[in-house]
Amino acid sequence: MDDKDEGAGKKAASTPFFPSLKELELCQCPRLKGRRRKPLQFPKLSKLLIAHCFVLTSMPSFPTLDMELVLRSSGIQPLLDTLAMSSAGHINVPSTASCSSSSSSSPSSSSEVETLQYPLSKLKKKLHISGIDHLPKEWLQGMQHLTSLQEIRIDNCLGLEETLNWHNISHVPNITIDGFLISQDGRSPWDEDHWNNFPRILQMISEEKAKKEGQAESSR
């Protein structure tokens, strides 16, 4: 392969898949594992649904995902790995050095500062997780970086009682667990200290669910 062909190969390898795609659904793909070394890139993806992909090991790269992420009856590890990633970026900030009056008319100087960029940090509408067989204790690690997120829904997931770091989602104004409202518009119907009393709240939710299921069973 000559230099021209090699350059073309590198360019093709770095070209994102479906560069204009905004919505993607991966459903009923029980053998889909994903790509570890170089995940598929969807630079304009806004909504992603992953359902019944039981052996998925990595998620596509979606730096602009900003509307909705749904993970249903699939492994949660790809999401945890995604949240654990960060990349260094650079931003220009104005110089804080004072300028003399003689140079006040000259353009202000700026310097380049390195900052960490977190995946899913632009996600703002909804994160919906449901049907997960087992949630690890640290599954909320990294959620504190989703600073624009407006809603989290969690349904039919096992392991919630052992979850740590509930404070990592305390900034999310709307949170629902198994149909029970935890907070709405930043206010909780439970108590002001509900983040420290989450085990008790989850126990109450579990008891209420069991009660409703019992009533539904007896009415049949």
At 86 the pLDDT is 62
Give pLDDT tens digits for 200-220. 888 888 888 788 878 877 887
Residue 214 has a pLDDT of 80
What value does the mean pLDDT take over residues 141-147? 88
Q: Are 121 and 144 in contact (CB under 8 A)?
A: no
Residue 190 confidence (pLDDT) above 90: no
Where b means 16+ CB within 10 Å and e means fewer, 183-208 reads beeeebebeeebbeebeebbeebeee
Give 18-87+113-218's CATH code, choosing from 3.30.70, 3.80.10, 2.60.120, 2.40.160. Answer: 3.80.10
pLDDT tier, 174 (very low <50, low <70, confident <90, very high otherwise): very high
User: Residue 194 pLDDT more than 90?
Assistant: no
User: In terms of pLDDT, which residue wins out, 206 or 38?
Assistant: 206
Answer whether 4's CB lies under 8 Å from 12's CB.
Answer: no
pLDDT-based confidence at residue 16 (cuts at 50, 70, 90):
low
pTM, entire model: 0.73
Residue by residue, what is the 3-state secondary structure of 190-212? CCCCCCCCHHHHHHHHHHHHHHH
Per-residue pLDDT band for 1 (boundaries 50, 70, 90) equals: very low
In this predicted structure, the answer to whether residue 101 has a pLDDT above a threshold of 60 is no
Residue 218 and residue 220: Cα distance in Å, rounded? 6
Q: What is the pLDDT of residue 7?
A: 47
Q: 24 pLDDT exceeds 80? A: yes
Long-range contacts of 39-48 (CB under 8 A, 24+ apart): 40/16, 41/16, 41/17, 42/16, 42/17, 42/18, 43/16, 43/19, 44/19, 44/20, 45/21, 46/22, 47/22, 47/23, 48/23, 48/24
Residue 69 binned pLDDT confidence (cut-offs 50, 70, 90): very high
Reading the block at residue 97, the tokens are 């050095």
Residue 129 has pLDDT above 50, yes or no: yes
The values of phi and psi at residue 31, to 5°, are -105, 0
Euclidean distance between the first and the last CA atom of the chain, given in angstroms as a whole number: 71
89: nearest Cα among 57, 69, 114, 125: 114
Most confident of 78-87, 112-121, 177-186: 177-186
User: Per-residue pLDDT tens for 104-128?
Assistant: 444 555 555 455 567 788 899 999 9
Under a CB-based contact definition with an 8 Å cutoff, are residues 169 and 140 in contact? yes
Judge whether residue 10 has pLDDT over 80. no
Neighbours of 119 (CB within 10 A): 22
pLDDT at residue 76 tops 90? no
Q: Which tokens go with 1?
A: 């392969």
CA distance 166 to 181: 15
Q: What is the mean pLDDT of the chain?
A: 77
Element (H, E) at 216: helix 198-218
pLDDT at residue number 13: 47
